[in-house]
Amino acid sequence: MSVLTRDEAQTRAQFLDVHRYTIALDLTTGEDTFDSRTVIQFTARAAGDTFVELKPAALHSVTVDGTPLDPAALDGNRLALTGLTEGPHELRIHADMRYSRTGEGMHRFTDPADGETYTYTQLFMDDVQRVFAAFDQPDLKSVFEVTVTAPEEWTVLGNGVATRTPEGPAGHWTIAPTPLISTYLVAVAAGPWYSVRTEHAGLPFGIHCRRSLAPHLDTDADEILSITRACFDRYHEKFEEPYPFDSYDQAFVPEFNAGAMENPGLVTFRDEFIYRSAVTDTERQTRAMVVAHEMAHMWFGDLVTLAWWDDIWLNESFAEYMGYQILTEATRFTDTWVDFGIARKAWGYDADQRPSTHPVAPDPDAVPDTASALLNFDGISYAKGASALRQLVAWLGEKDFLAGINVHFARHKFGNATLADFIDNLASATDRDVHAWAARWLRTSGVDTLTPRVTTADQGWTLGVTHDGSRPHRVSVGTYDLDVVDPAKLVARDRFALDVPLTEAPETRPGRRPALVVLNDGDLTYAKVRLDPASWDTALRALSGVPGALTRAVIWNAARDMVRDGELAPAAYLDAARAHLPHESDLALVQGVLSFAAVQITDRYLAGADRRAALTTLTALCRDLIRRTEDGSNPGLRLTAVRHFIDAATQPDALQDWLDCGSVPGGPELDPELRWRILTRLAILGAADERVIAAELTADPSATGQEGAARCRAALPDPEAKAAAWARLFANDDLSNYLFAATAQGFWQPEQADLVREYVPRFYTEAVALADRRGPAMAEVAGRHGFPVHAVDQDTLRLGQECLDNAEMIPALRRKLADQLDDLERALRVRGA
């Protein structure tokens, strides 16, 4: 299959104006394929040739202006249209298209809980070609009219209001025509959905899920709709352009590859966001943030769309920033930037220190085609880009920032825009040199490091900053003193603004030297920060006593970065966690610190006896947290501690007792998520077998139960179980994206390194073959979950580098392997340090 190049897209955009797609989909023709009929009305600006894209199972007919073309002329995914005259044309295409099990195109899923079937589209980047024929690029916007024939008992959802047509089959639906949108934003979801509908601001709102999840949606419907209404209203207070579509549906769909997708009028979410087990308030906040993020896309991405994929930050960075900011302003989740600081920014920092780093807004030549563009949907385009915007607002002021955004919307609504357009529009609202700021922040890669130099002076103390990097930073500096009554706590003395690099010699500040000096207090810039030695000593003694969760997040991130850079021993980080997490009040911080301690320090940065000692530290820490929450005062903290205790347990006894009793002593009751979590750990430790797994699956035959069973079976410390799991992963192609991920997650376990040693070299060759067969979505899953992360040794690194050097592989897998190997090399350096 050919990928579309930027040059080809520019040529086609200069040649064509696309006016209208009329699309008829028939979802009643079988379990493997569906019928797709497309009529495209377009105008050629001159006589010449072009092409249309589609990836059919069978191409039945093609006509241009009533003249048939030979379907055999389809070359891969391209059908040439030659000899076009200047003026209007009509292209008609009839094809059978394949359903997907990989979350691409038209995904089809049968719910094991009740046998009901659901389909939905995910047409991002170039997957529209799997559903209907299209001139598939973001700057050829068009009106889309879609009709769908579906089983009689199904409901059909789309970008506009969907209506069951009185004439014809009972299952015939017509979706209201869209305004001008890009091909990748067309959406259809069809199945026996359970729906909760309401109206807000004169528009129909709806939330939808599988019928088997209906009780869980009912439990959370008020919360989801309340968040949706609050965000909708707040966006209208900030943006002068009103919401540009005729309805707002949110469909929670099965086996979704991303967190969500911003289809206009029909946002699709992974249906794990319909919680069937207990979750923490931070997880509810995450769901709310995704709701806010996707709603921001109705303006950033849908109303005004990038012209080419080098400007994906115009979509994702803005939606990321606005999602967190709107949630903070409009809902009960007022500390969202703490979670961003401890979790999302880490994603950006890690991505930005790998060889695959790229600027937030890369040079157009660095994104020559759709395959390379797909690689840039990463922590840089999301977290770093959002951090850059937060710094921009701190520097520019929100008033001018919003004024520039509203100019941008007004000038480009229902059209396309570039980085240059956006910067020009922003510059029109301020006297500041936004173009210079963009060049320094958006066109450069890598992470700056800010290191304080604190000295004592005759009349006070001074602060200097060593700046390793090139970007200007406006930061807040927080100063703190030890509490005279309780030295385990600190009190805030002062917070002042500082521009880095310093343009003048450090000024002397009055008073004695503070016990703690924190650069980037408030986390308004994107940079690694360090603490001076005296401040670090204070933090080690009193970190949990620092006022302000966002300040503590900055300090924990500094410790995290120091571990990754070989400047702080992993065991010292664990000691700090052991000392301070039992007293931490912010749940996002507890979750973030425990996750880094478990996933990176315990499983990667430590080995052998050191790893076992680290697991003991983690279980002791979690026991402290469980004891602290016996009074029921913080169920989210207790749930977090229980989860991490399960994952770190080195002996099965306590876990088996919990499973047998159906509860943790003092709570919580074991819901399906906790039961499968315990059973997975028991399987890893050799304390569960197929009989127990099968019995649990009988009790929970849901989709997540199927995934839990797949994970447990792959985790069994048995050669036959490992061989069977490997065959399911790489010898057969019948696993869906989610079942593949679950099986891969169970397969590799640090406790079973000797048992799976023979599979480490096999991974590279077999992952390459799988990616070639199953495409980029499965390549990403295989590279993320199938990689032997536990094998931190030179042999694994050498094998991987040889694979990268010698094997032909699709770009999605190459990027994922390169990142995994860079992380592996970093782990080896940390161990060596």
Q: What is the pLDDT of residues 419-435, one digit of tens each?
A: 999 999 999 999 999 99
State whether 427 and 483 are in the same domain.
Answer: no
**What proportion of the chain, given as a percentage, has pLDDT over 90?**
96
State whether 19 and 147 are in the same domain.
Answer: yes
Q: Which of 441, 458, 488 is the last residue of a domain?
A: 441
Q: Is residue 10 part of a domain?
A: yes
State whether 249 and 350 are in the same domain.
Answer: no
Q: What is the mean pLDDT of the chain?
A: 96
Q: Give per-residue pLDDT as tens, 314-335.
A: 999 999 999 999 999 999 999 9
Q: How far is CA 63 from CA 66, 81, 89, 432, in A?
A: 5, 10, 10, 55
Query: For residue 522, which of 540, 546, 541, 495 has the smallest C-alpha distance?
Result: 495
C-alpha to C-alpha distance for 773 and 766, rounded to whole angstroms = 11
State whether 60 and 25 are in the same domain.
Answer: yes
Residue 294: active-site member: yes
Contact between 473 and 450 (Cβ < 8 Å)? yes
Q: Give per-residue pLDDT as tens, 142-193.
A: 999 999 999 999 999 999 999 998 766 679 999 999 999 999 999 999 999 9
543 pLDDT above the threshold of 80: yes
User: Pseudo-torsion of CA 239, 244, 247, 253, nearest 10°?
Assistant: -80
* Interval 266-280 mean pLDDT: 97
C-alpha to C-alpha distance for 99 and 130, rounded to whole angstroms = 8
Q: Give per-residue pLDDT as tens, 804-816.
A: 999 999 999 999 9
Sorted by sequence, the CB contacts under 8 Å of residue 508 that are 6+ apart come out as 457, 459, 460, 461, 462
Q: What's the angle, vertex CA 727, arms to CA 760 and CA 766, rounded to 5? A: 45
State whether 478 and 520 are in the same domain.
Answer: yes
Total of domains in the chain: 3
Q: Is residue 578 part of a domain?
A: no
Q: Which of 541, 568, 595 is the last residue of a domain?
A: 568
Task: For residue 173, give the H/E element and its range.
Answer: strand 172-175
C-alpha to C-alpha distance for 643 and 662, rounded to whole angstroms = 15
C-alpha to C-alpha distance for 667 and 679, rounded to whole angstroms = 18
Q: Give per-residue pLDDT as tens, 89-120.
A: 999 999 999 999 999 999 999 999 999 999 99
Q: Give per-residue pLDDT as tens, 646-692.
A: 999 999 999 999 999 999 999 999 999 999 999 999 999 999 999 99
Contact between 13 and 135 (Cβ < 8 Å)? no
Residues in the chain: 833
State whether 13 and 159 are in the same domain.
Answer: yes
**Band of pLDDT at residue 489, cut at 50, 70 and 90:** very high
* Interval 515-519 mean pLDDT: 97
State whether 172 and 49 are in the same domain.
Answer: yes
* Interval 427-444 mean pLDDT: 96
* Interval 278-285 mean pLDDT: 97
Q: Residue 1 has what pLDDT?
A: 66
State whether 330 and 433 are in the same domain.
Answer: yes
Q: Give per-residue pLDDT as tens, 616-643.
A: 999 999 999 999 999 988 999 999 999 9
Task: For residue 294, give the H/E element and its range.
Answer: helix 281-297
Query: For residue 539, which of 522, 524, 551, 526 has the smallest C-alpha distance?
Result: 551
Query: For residue 788, which of 808, 811, 774, 767 has the smallest C-alpha distance?
Result: 767
Residue identified by tokens 């066109």 is 443
Residue ranges in 196-280 assigned as alpha helix (H): 214-238
State whether 469 and 368 are in the same domain.
Answer: no
C-alpha to C-alpha distance for 654 and 657, rounded to whole angstroms = 5
C-alpha to C-alpha distance for 526 and 454, rounded to whole angstroms = 22
* DSSP states along 118-162: EEEEE-TTTGGGGTS-B--STTS-BEEEEEEE--TT-EEEESS-E
Q: Is residue 688 part of a domain?
A: no
* Interval 718-738 mean pLDDT: 97
C-alpha to C-alpha distance for 797 and 229, rounded to whole angstroms = 50
Sorted by sequence, the CB contacts under 8 Å of residue 222 that are 6+ apart come out as none
Give the CATH number of the domain where residue 317 resides: 1.10.390.10
C-alpha to C-alpha distance for 494 and 515, rounded to whole angstroms = 12
Task: For residue 204, give the H/E element and its range.
Answer: strand 203-209
Contact between 622 and 641 (Cβ < 8 Å)? yes
Q: Which of 53, 262, 272, 294 is flagged as catalytic?
A: 294
* Cis peptide upstream of residue 501 (ω within 30 degrees of 0): yes
* Interval 348-365 mean pLDDT: 95
**Band of pLDDT at residue 254, cut at 50, 70 and 90:** very high
Q: Is residue 323 part of a domain?
A: yes
**Band of pLDDT at residue 609, cut at 50, 70 and 90:** confident
* Interval 22-47 mean pLDDT: 98
Contact between 15 and 97 (Cβ < 8 Å)? no
Q: Residue 507 has what pLDDT?
A: 78
C-alpha to C-alpha distance for 687 and 679, rounded to whole angstroms = 9
Q: Residue 47 has what pLDDT?
A: 98
Q: Is residue 297 part of a domain?
A: no
Q: How far is CA 286 from CA 13, 123, 206, 259, 683, in A?
A: 38, 24, 20, 10, 30
Q: Residue 168 has what pLDDT?
A: 65
Give the CATH number of the domain where residue 91 resides: 2.60.40.1730
**What proportion of the chain, given as a percentage, has pLDDT over 70?**
100
Query: For residue 106, which of 122, 87, 85 has the smallest C-alpha distance?
Result: 122
Query: For residue 749, which of 673, 684, 705, 690 has the smallest C-alpha distance?
Result: 684
Q: Residue 734 has what pLDDT?
A: 94
Sorted by sequence, the CB contacts under 8 Å of residue 251 that are 6+ apart come out as 120, 157, 189, 193, 207, 208, 209, 266, 267, 268, 269
Q: Collapsing DSSP states into helix, strand and coil, what is residue 453?
A: strand
Q: Is residue 70 part of a domain?
A: yes
User: Containing domain of residue 500, as a range?
Assistant: 450-568
Query: For residue 221, which of 274, 282, 263 has the smallest C-alpha distance?
Result: 274
**In terms of C-beta density within 10 A (0-12 exposed, 13-18 middle, 19 or more buried), how is residue 731 classed?**
exposed
State whether 426 and 309 are in the same domain.
Answer: yes
Question: Hey, what are 746's tokens?
Answer: 């169970």
State whether 86 and 198 are in the same domain.
Answer: yes
C-alpha to C-alpha distance for 766 and 782, rounded to whole angstroms = 10
Q: What's the angle, vertex CA 175, arms to CA 120 and CA 209, rounded to 5? A: 35
Q: Is residue 109 part of a domain?
A: yes
State whether 376 and 416 are in the same domain.
Answer: yes
Q: Which of 527, 551, 568 is the last residue of a domain?
A: 568
